[in-house]
Chains A and B, each alone.
Chain A
Amino acid sequence: RKEVEQDPGPFNVPEGATVAFNCTYSNSASQSFFWYRQDCRKEPKLLMSVYSSGNEDGRFTAQLNRASQYISLLIRDSKLSDSATYLCVVNKGDSWGKFQFGAGTQVVVTP
């Protein structure tokens, strides 16, 4: 089993719609969780951290479910510019600050 698993998609989303997807992780010692966004042929960039209480940043909402070991990302009112691959990132629970990356979920927002 992979340490971090994501549905690769693509999720085809009409502009203005809502899309949500999950990421499961296997390491119960993980304490830090993030969503990164990666555009085609570019480097990943931090989208948002995921806190235990859940957090929202504009149209983006992230949730953490420790009991079931998954995190989620919801995008409301999708824009064409939201088309990207979204990477789930989970720390390895060690002291080095290492993270484990999911392979990414591709989102395609269509007009």
Chain B
Amino acid sequence: DVKVTQSSRYLVKRTGEKVFLECVQDMDHENMFWYRQDPGLGLRLIYFSYDVKMKEKGDIPEGYSVSREKKERFSLILESASTNQTSMYLCASTRPGGDGYTFGSGTRLTVV
């Protein structure tokens, strides 16, 4: 089975901190995605990457950046955390044209 691993399940950070969320997948998938999930809003795409060093903005990229230096690792960076970035962050991967996503277990980030 494909495994997508997110480094932290729960994080508490202070406003203004730089925050790194890490995601690693072990099935050589080309495409990786970062979503955030908020009650009533569903999953919203922040950034995605279809190859090493390649990245594309999703629907809500403001306040975030990403890094993909290796195929298996896709990092989400909150440059200066704000309270409105308190959310559940989900990483996913898939093959191009693949049959749906595999998600990591999520990181619940609280910014205080």
Contacts and interface: CB of A to CB of B under 8 A. Distances in A.
A43 B36 CA distance: 11
7 contacts: A32-B99, A44-B90, A44-B103, A49-B100, A95-B96, A97-B95, A103-B42
Given A43-B105, A103-B40, A98 B100 contact: no
Given A41-B108, A44-B43, 19 more contacts: A4-B42, A32-B99, A36-B100, A42-B105, A42-B106, A43-B90, A43-B104, A43-B105, A43-B106, A45-B103, A46-B100, A46-B101, A96-B50, A96-B96, A97-B96, A98-B33, A98-B58, A101-B43, A104-B42
A56 to B, nearest CB: 17
Interface string A50-89: 0000000000000000000000000000000000000101
Interface in A13-53: 32, 34, 36, 41-46, 49
Interface residues of B, number: 27
Q: Chain A interface secondary structure, helix, strand, loop or mixed?
A: loop
Interface of A: 4, 8, 32, 34, 36, 41-46, 49, 87, 89, 95-99, 101-104
A41 B100 CA distance: 20
B41 A98 contact: no
The 7 lowest CB-CB distance pairs between A and B, nearest first, are A103-B42, A43-B103, A101-B43, A101-B42, A97-B31, A34-B100, A46-B100
Nearest to A43: B103
Nearest to A101: B43
Contacts of A97: 31, 50, 94-98
Contacts of A87: 42-43
Nearest to A44: B103
B42 A102 contact: yes
A96 B56 contact: yes
A13 to B, nearest CB: 22
